[in-house]
Amino acid sequence: RSASGADSRTAVSFLPPHQWRRRRRRARRAAEHARNGGEARWWWRRRGGRAGRCRSRAVRGGKARRGGGDSGHRVPPRPGRAWGGRSSLLVKSLVSSGSAPRCGGREAVVGHCGLEVGADRCSLCFPLQVFSFRLPMSCYDEDFFKEYFKMMANFLVLNVIICISLALWIVSITANTYYGTLQPISPWRWLFSVLVPVMIAVQGFKKKSLDHSGALGGLVVGFILTVANYSFFTSLLVFFVTSSKLTKWKKDIKKKIDSEYKEGGQRNWVQVFCNGGVPMELAVLYMIEKGPGEIPIDFSKQYTASWMCLSLLAALASSAGDTWASEIGSVMSKSEPRLITTWEKVPVGTNGAITLVGLLSSLFGGMAVGTAYFLTQLLFVTDLEVSAPQWPIVVFGAAAGLLGSIVDSYLGATMQYSGFDQNTGMVVNHETKDSKHISGKPILDNNTVNLFSSILIALVLPGVALCFWPRG
């Protein structure tokens, strides 16, 4: 603590840049002298009524100056090097007793800063962390610098995102002025559409749910869906978050049954666009037809826009249902899976194999996406009172998830190779000399199967929903 009783770490946290540079310079000189040998002296000093400062002087031998005490840390001089002159170090952490405590009786070693430290961080090593960016940091933690740089990086990214959002808003205003058919987009929607997908993509990359290309692809898909309709965004968010969590769930078991299992999922751009490419294209068509914004699903008043909304929801719910079925059914089912085409029992992990647990999981996966869409409608749509009921969205999402899983299983059983590798004891998706054929032909891979099933469900289900959707 300082002479005024305040915590010195708080007292000097905010200083002008030139004072930080001066202190870092003195820290480097003092550390160099300490490495050459000598003894650190600490004492209180007042100057001009300002808060007390603590200085450390390295002298070779001699007595401690007035007002100070021996720090108890002696550093052996380097062989063949003599020390001359003195230096001082302004430190951030002041010692209230006037002298630094010893290392607590532990066996001391000489750290990179040149001072003796014990097994834990020494009281003389801690002050150096706030003054020098160039000193070796193995003797003290780097949390202060990491948090500071992280804060500044986030601040810089936020400013860039705001500038991009304003630029896009200006472009939309200009386009609306010269081409009146284009509806202008508010700056808040631009900001939300840029900021939130960036945050989600960064978090997905940090948690290994996405690789580099997958994060960039997810950023593009998320941006377009968010600009078009907030209900599209929440549906995509629920699909991505739940799928990422389920992929990491019981990963020890999945490693034993999946030959292509990756830690966290690590989806690349191909997987992102095979699952999100159809919704992205539908979102673009929706903006061309209706413009950005949320609308109630009502076939009697807005047939084309309502059809596109349900088609996009069906594509996302289908992908979510297939993911939930494969991630939950493979580890939770007590019975052996059966091939959907022949109904024969097959090993766990076979393409086209289904279980009762997997089918129920796909139903709930699609329902989760539909529920997210429905709740967003309640929050952002203003004319629900004069529109058709929106609750069928939840039922529609559940049906899309279940049917999407069934279609995906059928395509996987017929057009995707599955074989049992006798060496590894796992199901493989490509033919090898040690694999025994189970089902399917090597025509499509898993990503292509997901894409085709998503397209098929997105095209068929909106027409089916039109027959049963209640009128406003």
DSSP string, 386-436: TS---THHHHHHHHHHHHHHHHHHHHHHHHS-EEEETTTTEEESS--TTEE
| Pair 237, 311 in one domain | yes
Query: Is there a contact between 468 and 390 (Cβ–Cβ < 8 Å)?
Result: no
- Whether 279 maps to a domain, the answer reads yes
- Whether 30 maps to a domain, the answer reads yes
pLDDT band at residue 259 using 50, 70 and 90 as cut-offs:
low
| Pair 234, 107 in one domain | no
- Whether 287 maps to a domain, the answer reads yes
| Pair 309, 433 in one domain | yes
Tell me the pTM. Answer: 0.66
Q: Whole-number mean pLDDT of the chain?
A: 74
Q: Which one has a higher pLDDT value, 328 or 141?
A: 328
The whole-angstrom separation of Cα 93 and Cα 9 is 6
Residue 37: φ, ψ to 5°: 120, 170
Provide the 8-state DSSP code for 224.
Answer: H
- Whether 113 maps to a domain, the answer reads yes
Lowest-pLDDT range of 75-89, 184-198, 350-364: 75-89
| Pair 195, 127 in one domain | no
Strand pairing class (68-75; 38-45): antiparallel
Record the tokens describing residue 466, joined without a space. Answer: 């039109």
| Pair 92, 226 in one domain | no
- Tell me what the mean pLDDT of segment 10-15 comes to: 50
| Pair 309, 452 in one domain | yes
| Pair 131, 204 in one domain | no
pLDDT band at residue 94 using 50, 70 and 90 as cut-offs:
very low
SS (H, E, C) 305-359: HHHHHHHHHHHHHHHHHHHHHHHHHHHHCCCCCEECCCCCECCCCCCCEECHHHH
pLDDT of residue 109: 40
- Whether 34 maps to a domain, the answer reads yes
Give residue-wise pLDDT tens across range 217-230: 999 999 999 999 99
| Pair 201, 123 in one domain | no
- Tell me what the mean pLDDT of segment 44-51 comes to: 38
| Pair 48, 189 in one domain | no
Record the tokens describing residue 98, joined without a space. Answer: 């006037």
The count of domains in the chain is 2
The whole-angstrom separation of Cα 305 and Cα 272 is 25
For residue 90, the SS3 value is strand
- Whether 167 maps to a domain, the answer reads no
- Whether 299 maps to a domain, the answer reads yes
Please say if the pLDDT value at position 177 is more than 50: yes
Domain hosting residue 37, numbered range: 8-141
Q: Taking the CA atoms of the chain, what radius of gyration do you get in angstroms?
A: 32
Residue 171: φ, ψ to 5°: -65, -40
Give residue-wise pLDDT tens across range 237-250: 999 999 989 888 88
Record the tokens describing residue 128, joined without a space. Answer: 């150096």
- Tell me what the mean pLDDT of segment 34-63 comes to: 44
Helical spans, DSSP H, in 261-302: 269-289
Instruction: Give the long-range contacts of residues 284-291, CB within 8 A, separation 24 or more.
Output: 284/224, 284/228, 286/228, 286/229, 286/312, 287/227, 287/228, 291/182, 291/183
Please say if the pLDDT value at position 196 is more than 50: yes
Please say if the pLDDT value at position 189 is more than 70: yes
| Pair 109, 31 in one domain | yes
- Whether 270 maps to a domain, the answer reads yes
- Tell me which residue has tokens 């599955």: 418
**CB within 8 A of 325, min separation 6: which ones?**
354, 358, 359, 361, 362, 365, 405
Residue 439: φ, ψ to 5°: -165, 165
| Pair 134, 245 in one domain | no
| Pair 334, 451 in one domain | yes
